[in-house]
């Protein structure tokens, strides 16, 4: 059931409406400490949805919310769960997002 919920939720994480996108990121930031490692089945689906466009966003609210989500992931999830998806993102992103992901990996 977790997969079904987050499969529906992930499209809000990169919604074309910036307000919807930002609220989804802020909501994700609140959910991470509650769910912690229970997110492991959906983490490979969520990380691309959370970082792909959001860490390169020119909207300061979206960028800040995405940065907070990445920070919350690092604080509340086992780092071994994050290593592969973060490496993949650092490899294929560009600009500020690539720099941010590389710093998190370091």
- Condensed to tens digits (0 to 9), the pLDDT of residues 29-40 reads 999 999 999 999
The whole-number pLDDT of residue 106 equals: 86
Structure tokens at 70: 């990445």
Statement: residue 19 has pLDDT above 90 = yes
Distance of CA 46 to the CA centre of its chain: 6
Give, in degrees to the nearest 5, the angle at Cα 23 between 94 and 11: 60
Q: What is the pLDDT of residues 47-58, one digit of tens each?
A: 999 998 999 999
How does DSSP classify residue 15? -
The whole-number pLDDT of residue 1 equals: 85
Q: What is the largest CA-CA distance in the chain?
A: 35
18-50 in b/e form (b: 16+ CB < 10 A) is eeebbebbbebbebbeeebeebeebbebbbbbb
Domain residue ranges of the chain, discontinuous segments joined by +: 1-104
pTM equals 0.93
């Amino acid at each position: 059931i977790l997969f079904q919920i987050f499969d529906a939720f992930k499209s809000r994480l990169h919604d074309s409406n910036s307000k919807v996108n930002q609220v989804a990121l802020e909501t994700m930031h609140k959910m991470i400490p509650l769910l912690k490692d229970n997110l492991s089945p959906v983490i490979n689906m969520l990380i691309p949805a959370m970082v792909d466009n959001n860490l390169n966003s020119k909207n300061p609210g979206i960028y800040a919310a995405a940065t907070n989500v990445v920070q919350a992931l690092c604080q509340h999830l086992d780092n071994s769960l994050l290593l592969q998806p973060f490496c993949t993102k650092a490899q294929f992103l560009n600009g500020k997002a690539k720099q941010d992901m590389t710093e998190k990996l370091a």
